[in-house]
């Protein structure tokens, strides 16, 4: 964990933002994959809408 903190502290703000955005979009894709696994009968549109709703209403 200390190594991660060291690496992140040396990143530029732009690099941190890019890393955060990559994590966000990766999380959305993982959620979509899981939903497709759970609901193979769902259309891509239904998967996309559900992912959007999940992330829109996420709480920290």
Q: How many structural domains are present in the chain? A: 1
- Burial code (b: 16+ CB inside 10 Å, e: under 16) for 11-26 equals eeeeeeeeeeeeeeee
pLDDT band at 1 (very low <50, low <70, confident <90, very high): confident
At 18-45, the pLDDT tens digits run 999 999 999 999 999 999 999 999 999 9
Check if the beta carbon of residue 31 is closer than 8 Å to that of residue 43: no
């Amino acid at each position: 964990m200390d190594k991660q903190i060291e690496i992140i502290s040396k990143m530029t703000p732009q690099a941190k933002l890019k890393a955060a955005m990559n994590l966000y979009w990766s999380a959305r894709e993982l959620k979509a994959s899981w939903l497709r696994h759970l609901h193979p009968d769902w259309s891509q549109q239904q998967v996309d809408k559900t992912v959007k709703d999940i992330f829109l209403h996420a709480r920290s």
